[in-house]
């Protein structure tokens, strides 16, 4: 069981990251803006899962259960992006038109 | 967890388990399994949002700029704070500190209600600006249909999240009553804590996805 000082440290880190993500959003990083925003969000979520949700202090099976939903979400995002985001890459008339009104 | 076993709030051993540790392990895995289904529940809507944002990036940027970044950041801070008080409540329950548990549950409820209040205020301003999708939707730019689509996603995602928050606050209220009656079980507090932190994590992703779309432009 983590001590209360661990919780306060993790909270301080989360606060810094939360304010950093808002500040960085106003800086032009080109294509890296959404990437940095998502990287910070994943870092924050990892801190919450490991410390506030005690996954760091539980057994390995709990870790597998905790990571499973995330893995399935990544599969969903990757496979669906492989379809929608690559339409129009090849000069073949698409059977399904690109997204648009 | 030897501290947990020493707590006066520790759970009764149900007949299908051999030890309290085994029961706790089963509780934890069951809760995480439920949270995995919740990840995919929100994940489906977020996936649709990501695809449409890629398809209508300019309109989504314009629509995102109508969201109030100050209130968005404030909600993030409030919700992260509520996660801290929730973690402290679980800690107090494990140690059997009834008074501290009650205080941290109350703080969690107050912060949760503060979040919902700020969210309600944001919805009210969207109503005043005629930015609610539907027949009354008014948009000054030329990309009104795609902007309306962004606001659909905004209301569905934050609305689903707010429903989870309301359920979370209700659970905390129930735990507070149980604490007052001295019938609280520390594993119940722990599992409710997992739910609360999960709802916090959803917001951790919703905030940059909805509020921070190309803010620098």
Which residues does B132 contact at the CB level (< 8 Å), separation at least 6?
Answer: B126, B151, B155
CB–CB of A37/B208 below 8 Å?
yes
Mean pLDDT of B8-24: 84
The verdict on residue B10 lying in a domain is: no
Residue B132: what pLDDT? 93
Written as six digits, the tokens of B8 are: 């006066």
The nearest CA of chain A is from the CA of B62 a distance in Å of: 15
The verdict on residue B4 lying in a domain is: no
What residues of chain B lie within 8 A of the CB of A50, using their CB?
none
What residues of chain B lie within 8 A of the CB of A80, using their CB?
47, 51
Q: How many domains does chain B have?
A: 1
Contact B39 A70 (CB under 8 A): yes
**Strand blocks (E) in chain A:** none
Range in A7-21, A84-98, B42-56, B141-155 with the lowest mean pLDDT: A84-98
Contact A62 B32 (CB under 8 A): yes
Mean pLDDT of A73-101: 78
Q: What is the pTM of this model?
A: 0.92
Contact A41 B193 (CB under 8 A): no
Contact B47 A77 (CB under 8 A): yes
Crossing angle for the helix pair B144-181 and B20-55, to the nearest 10 degrees: 160
Q: Is B51 exposed, middle or buried (0-12, 13-18, 19+ CB in 10 A)?
A: middle
- Best mutation target among B46, B194, B204 (most A Cβ atoms within 10 Å) is B204
Contact A40 B208 (CB under 8 A): yes
Question: Is B4's pLDDT higher than 70?
Answer: no
Return the residue of A nearest to B43 by Cα.
A73
Residue B3: what pLDDT? 46
The pLDDT tens digits for B158-187 are 999 999 999 999 999 999 999 999 889 989
Residue B1: what pLDDT? 44
Residue A100: what pLDDT? 59
At B183, which CATH number? 1.20.120.80
The mean predicted confidence, pLDDT, of chain B is 93
Residue A93 pLDDT grade (very low, low, confident, very high; cuts 50, 70, 90): low
Q: How far apart are the first and last CA of chain B?
A: 52
Question: Is B80's pLDDT higher than 90?
Answer: yes
Residue A101: what pLDDT? 55
The verdict on residue B3 lying in a domain is: no
What residues of chain B lie within 8 A of the CB of A54, using their CB?
190
DSSP state of A57: G
Residue B2 pLDDT grade (very low, low, confident, very high; cuts 50, 70, 90): very low
The pLDDT tens digits for B95-104 are 999 999 999 9
Residue B196: what pLDDT? 98
Question: Is B202's pLDDT higher than 70?
Answer: yes
Range of the domain at B182: 27-211
Return the residue of A nearest to B208 by Cα.
A37
Cα separations in angstroms, B113 against A61, B32, B164, B191: 34, 25, 12, 20
What residues of chain B lie within 8 A of the CB of A59, using their CB?
25
Residue B83 has its nearest CB partner, among A41, A48, A100, at A48
The pLDDT tens digits for B190-201 are 999 999 999 999
- Residue B117 in contact with partner chain A when CB distance is under 8 A: no
The pLDDT tens digits for A19-66 are 999 999 999 998 899 999 999 999 999 999 999 999 999 889 999 999
The verdict on residue B19 lying in a domain is: no
Which residues does B38 contact at the CB level (< 8 Å), separation at least 6?
Answer: A69, B198
Size of interface A-B (CB pairs under 8 A): 135
For chain A, domain boundaries: 4-57, 67-101
The verdict on residue B8 lying in a domain is: no
């Amino acid at each position: 069981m983590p001590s209360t000082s661990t919780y306060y440290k993790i909270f301080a880190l989360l606060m810094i990251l939360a304010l950093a993500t808002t500040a960085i959003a106003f800086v032009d990083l080109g294509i890296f803006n959404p990437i940095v925003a998502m990287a910070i969000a994943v870092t924050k979520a990892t801190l919450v899962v490991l410390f506030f949700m005690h996954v760091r202090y539980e057994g390995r099976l709990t870790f597998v259960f905790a990571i499973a939903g995330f893995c399935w979400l990544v599969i969903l995002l990757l496979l669906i992006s492989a379809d929608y985001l690559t339409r129009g890459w090849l000069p073949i008339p698409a059977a399904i038109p690109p997204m648009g009104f | 967890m030897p501290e947990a076993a020493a707590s006066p709030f520790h759970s009764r051993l149900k007949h299908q388990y051999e030890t309290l540790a085994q029961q706790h392990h089963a509780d934890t895995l069951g809760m995480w399994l439920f949270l995995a289904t919740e990840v995919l529940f929100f994940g489906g809507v977020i996936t649709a949002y990501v695809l449409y944002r890629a398809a209508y990036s300019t309109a989504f940027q314009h629509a995102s700029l109508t969201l109030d970044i100050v209130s968005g950041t404030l909600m993030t801070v409030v919700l992260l704070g509520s996660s801290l008080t929730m973690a402290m409540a679980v800690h107090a329950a494990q140690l059997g500190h009834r008074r501290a548990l009650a205080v941290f549950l109350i703080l969690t409820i107050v912060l949760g209600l503060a979040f919902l209040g700020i969210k309600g205020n944001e919805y009210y301003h969207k109503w005043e600006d005629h930015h609610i999708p539907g027949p009354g939707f008014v948009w000054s730019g030329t990309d009104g249909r795609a902007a309306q689509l962004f606001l659909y996603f905004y209301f569905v995602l934050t609305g689903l999240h707010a429903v989870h928050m309301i359920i979370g606050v209700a659970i905390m209220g129930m735990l507070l009553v149980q604490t007052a009656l001295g019938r609280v079980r520390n594993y119940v507090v722990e599992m409710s804590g997992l739910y609360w932190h999960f709802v916090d994590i959803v917001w951790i992703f919703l905030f940059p996805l909805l509020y921070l779309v190309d803010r620098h432009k």
